[in-house]
Amino acid sequence: MRVGYLLLITLLLTACNHGRKVNTSFYYWKTVYKQNATESAYLNHLHSNKLYVRIMDVDMDEDGINPVPVSPVTFQSKLPDTLQIVPVVFIVNDVLRNISKPKLNELAGKLLRFVKGKVTQAGKVDFAEMQIDCDWTAETRDNYFYLLRQIKTVTGNKTLSVTLRLHQLKNRKRTGVPPADKVLLMCYNMGNLRKYGTQNSIIELSELKKYAGENLSTYPMPMDIGLPLFSWAVAFRNKEYAGIDKRINFNILNDEKQFRSNGNGLYSAVADLPAYGLLKGDEIRWEDSALADVQAATVYISKYLKPGNINVVYFHLDDDVIKKYKYEGLQNTADMVR
């Protein structure tokens, strides 16, 4: 029966082939890179040939005058020879609000030098692609696009990719199309995180449909896809958003000495829990990236993507995060884009 089932899946995927070549990869978003057996196994099983490594955040210094690197990655291990590195730099949107063109010119050069140094630490001689991650808005668009053009100038013939959030996809007349070689659509963080209720702000097909559809097929640039593999605990006090608590996991929420299930992913603290900064009665909404939800989003997106070479990049490569997903499930998900 299992052989027949796998054959059926293969036939369905073949029948839905859109003429695309897909590479499956991951983001690496931790501040220390070191080889890990579980993480390496996923890279090998999914035949990944590149890893998108967050190099640093860029934010303003304490005086609010100059952009500075924040929490840069350190490499305790070299990247395997089988993996290309795609350095990723996250730029805080506020950096772009009140900054002069000369400082943007300076920032572009500093970014490249910093990235090159980290790539060398990773054991790589060079890199073919660099990615900039920024939640830019209509107000910061001009400065952001100017910075991208400067980065493109200093990086020469390297590919420059940028992340694209769903609101930027839908409202591109306001937020513009970035001057880059391609975009990576972040198919997550699509709902209202701060709104009290039972929604899943990480991934929800009904929310995705509000932003995507024809906006995908008409976007004037090659597009890669980012898919979520993470979960988190969203805290509420008196039904008001109180933050994300990364110390709380699903097992803790099911400890009846600490939490009571209210159904639909909501939990209440049964006592004051100072270890988590919670008071009795505070609520937690558990949000997850269930494979079925990720696959439903992928099937929907695949109907609108253009033919070509597409990178499917999972967020993110962390043994605690990915070990609940089977290799076959992640590979089948990526195959749905073909």
What is the average pLDDT value for the chain, to the nearest integer?
93
pLDDT 10s digits, 210-227:
999 999 999 999 999 999
Q: Are residues 115 and 203 in the same domain?
A: yes
Q: Are residues 210 and 322 in the same domain?
A: yes
End position of a domain, from candidates 287, 310, 325: 287
pLDDT of residue 17: 62
pLDDT of residue 11: 47
Taking the model in full, what pTM does it have?
Answer: 0.92
For position 323, which CATH number holds?
A: 3.20.20.80
Q: Are residues 272 and 175 in the same domain?
A: no
Q: What confidence tier does 16 reach under pLDDT thresholds 50, 70, 90? A: low
Q: For residues 105 and 109, what is the distance between their CA atoms, to the nearest angstrom?
A: 7
Q: Are residues 172 and 138 in the same domain?
A: yes
Check whether 135 has a pLDDT greater than 50: yes
What token pair was written down for 186?
């972040």
Q: Are residues 192 and 299 in the same domain?
A: yes
Q: What confidence tier does 19 reach under pLDDT thresholds 50, 70, 90? A: confident
Q: For residues 145 and 176, what is the distance between their CA atoms, to the nearest angstrom?
A: 9
pLDDT of residue 338: 85
pLDDT of residue 9: 46
Q: For residues 250 and 243, what is the distance between their CA atoms, to the nearest angstrom?
A: 17
Average pLDDT over residues 3-18: 49
Q: Are residues 132 and 275 in the same domain?
A: no
Q: Are residues 277 and 302 in the same domain?
A: no
End position of a domain, from candidates 266, 287, 308: 287
Q: Are residues 137 and 255 in the same domain?
A: no
End position of a domain, from candidates 247, 265, 287: 287
- The structure tokens 């059926």 sit at 8
Name residues whose C-beta falls within 8 Å of residue 72's C-beta, 6 or more positions apart in sequence. 31, 55, 56, 114, 118
Average pLDDT over residues 202-214: 95
Task: Give the residue numbers spanning the domain of 250.
Answer: 232-287
Verify cis geometry, omega within 30 degrees of 0, for the bond prior to 45.
Answer: no
Q: For residues 301 and 79, what is the distance between their CA atoms, to the nearest angstrom?
A: 31
Q: Are residues 266 and 193 in the same domain?
A: no
Number of structural domains found in the chain = 2
Q: Are residues 50 and 174 in the same domain?
A: yes
pLDDT 10s digits, 80-130:
999 999 999 999 999 999 999 999 999 999 999 999 999 999 999 999 999
Sign of CA dihedral 16, 19, 25, 26: negative
What token pair was written down for 174?
């306001």
Q: Are residues 239 and 220 in the same domain?
A: no
Q: Are residues 239 and 321 in the same domain?
A: no
